[in-house]
Amino acid sequence: MLTKKGAATRQRIIDAAADEIRERGVGAATLDDIGRRSGTGKSQLFHYFPEGKEQLLMAVAEWEAGQVIEDQQPYLGQLTSWQAWHQWRDVVVERYRRQGVHCPLGVLITEIGRHTPAAQAVTRQLLEQWQRQIQAGIEEMRERGSISRDVDPVRASAALIAAIQGGVTILMSTGSADHLEAALDLYLDYLRADAPSYS
Amino acid sequence: MLTKKGAATRQRIIDAAADEIRERGVGAATLDDIGRRSGTGKSQLFHYFPEGKEQLLMAVAEWEAGQVIEDQQPYLGQLTSWQAWHQWRDVVVERYRRQGVHCPLGVLITEIGRHTPAAQAVTRQLLEQWQRQIQAGIEEMRERGSISRDVDPVRASAALIAAIQGGVTILMSTGSADHLEAALDLYLDYLRADAPSYS
């Protein structure tokens, strides 16, 4: 376990590494630069990340994955009204439009090795956490009678995660958010259709 | 313009390159191996691909992109009944389940450089062609009264392409087709809902 001060130092290193990587690319970000930027010496860097750059990259990937969720709050965590769903939809589109063609997390996953267990664990955890929050929103809306009982929360949240993932991938290769927006809007239409409160 | 014989030789080289890359990876596939496999000498290779391996990789990427469409036929090209839609859905799931975590086209796009205009052109063309065929199916089904007039064929086909893309990306990182299946099924439910023939 890290002390509070230790955890803060570790986080400062991760923040500095994330900034270096976002600005200069993962190949150009050296431990020296990261140490300088975070105001920590090499011995401290190796205290927190004894296995070196690879271990640090994993920590940064986990942090970037956390940011993906964080950036969607507070909406994602409380999808309990149609207003919240639509605000969340707008935040997602805006976040990825701003991010454009370069995904900080994607860069790290590629560097760590897309098919390595470590990289897959980061991706899997992110998708699970994301999907769980959407699923909770669908369940809550079903309870309230705003979404039909015919909608399966597990499958619908899985489908929504796939649609976002695909829309973002296409945005990253074309620069256009059209697919992402269409995918989100159709799902919202799907979720709103046949709701008891509509019939 | 190539003669018929020239076009056949060029295609033989592309086929051999595609097989080499699928079996050994894009880094390990040498022009020598590709020449041997296709039964063509180096001078012939450079006759058809004067800029060398990079140009050949582009041609293989275009061929692999064509295969993505080809593998979905005849269903994708004639989405004119619900039976055809469901058969197409099964073919898509089965194709990507079989492909698993390694995407031959993705490997090539990464090698050529995901952000290069050449790679983006291949991706864009594939998505456009794919989406156009889905859109044609939706339009036809609308004409027949099997899909509601409220469904926008452009946006619905864009959403479906995003959902497939995302489902496949998740399949490639988790090994599971659950997201792909959920995404396709929800869109089919959406398209079937509120159809005039249902009301």
* Domain membership flag for residue B124: yes
Print the domain residue range for B132. 60-198
* CATH code of the domain containing A111: 1.10.357.10
Name the residue with tokens 């058809």: B48
Give dist(CA A199, CA B11) in Å, integer. Answer: 58
* Listed ranges A26-40, A130-144, A181-195; the one with the highest mean pLDDT: A130-144
How far is residue A45 from each of residues A12, A36, A61, measured CA to CA in Å? 11, 11, 17
A150 and A67 in a common domain: yes
Q: What is the per-residue pLDDT across A80-126, written as a single tens digit (0 to 9) for each?
A: 999 999 999 999 999 999 998 888 888 888 888 877 888 889 999 99
* Domain membership flag for residue B55: no
Name the pLDDT band for A174 (thresholds 50, 70, 90): confident
Name the pLDDT band for B194 (thresholds 50, 70, 90): low
Reported ipTM: the value is: 0.87
A74 and A44 in a common domain: no
* Domain membership flag for residue B43: yes
- Taking CA atoms, what residue in A is nearest to B115? A173
Contact B158, A179 (CB under 8 A): yes
* Domain membership flag for residue A55: no
A138 and A93 in a common domain: yes
Give dist(CA A127, CA B170) in Å, integer. Answer: 9
Contact B140, B79 (CB under 8 A): yes
B164 and B115 in a common domain: yes
A46 and A66 in a common domain: no
A93 and A10 in a common domain: no
Report chain B residues whose CB lies below 8 A from the CB of A120. 173-174
Name the pLDDT band for A198 (thresholds 50, 70, 90): very low
Q: Is the pLDDT of residue B173 over 80?
A: yes
* CATH code of the domain containing B30: 1.10.10.60
| Portion of chain A with pLDDT greater than 70, in percent | 97
* Domain membership flag for residue B182: yes
Name the residue with tokens 């997201």: B179
Residue length, chain A? 199
Closest partner CB to B166 (pick from A115, A165, A190): A165
Taking an 8 Å cut-off on Cβ atoms, the answer to whether A173 and B101 are in contact is no
Contact A34, A56 (CB under 8 A): yes
Taking an 8 Å cut-off on Cβ atoms, the answer to whether A162 and B173 are in contact is no
Taking an 8 Å cut-off on Cβ atoms, the answer to whether B124 and A161 are in contact is no
A72 and A32 in a common domain: no
Predicted local confidence at residue B196, as pLDDT: 60
* Domain membership flag for residue A93: yes
Give dist(CA A13, CA A31) in Å, integer. Answer: 10
Q: In this complex, how many residue pairs, one in chain A and one in chain B, have their CB atoms less than 8 Å apart?
A: 114
Q: Which of B60, B79, B95 lies closest to B168, judged by CA?
A: B95
Q: How many domains does chain B divide into?
A: 2
How far is residue A97 from each of residues A167, A198, B45, B144, B168, measured CA to CA in Å? 11, 33, 42, 37, 22
Give dist(CA B190, CA A191) in Å, integer. Answer: 9
Chain B contact for A113 (CB, 8 A cutoff): no
B120 and B33 in a common domain: no
Give dist(CA B174, CA B157) in Å, integer. Answer: 25
How far is residue B49 from each of residues B9, B14, B33, B156, measured CA to CA in Å? 12, 10, 15, 40
Chain B contact for A174 (CB, 8 A cutoff): yes
B181 and B158 in a common domain: yes
Shortest distance between the Cα of B155 and any Cα of chain A, in A, equals 5
A71 and A45 in a common domain: no
B109 and B44 in a common domain: no
Taking an 8 Å cut-off on Cβ atoms, the answer to whether B162 and A161 are in contact is no
* Domain membership flag for residue A144: yes
* Domain membership flag for residue A119: yes
Phi first, then psi, for residue B83 (nearest 5°) are -60, -45
Helices within A71-177 (DSSP H only)? 82-99, 104-112, 117-143, 153-174
Predicted local confidence at residue A101, as pLDDT: 80
Closest partner CB to A166 (pick from B101, B164, B190): B164
Report chain A residues whose CB lies below 8 A from the CB of B173. 114, 120, 123-124
Name the pLDDT band for A28 (thresholds 50, 70, 90): confident
B65 and B45 in a common domain: no
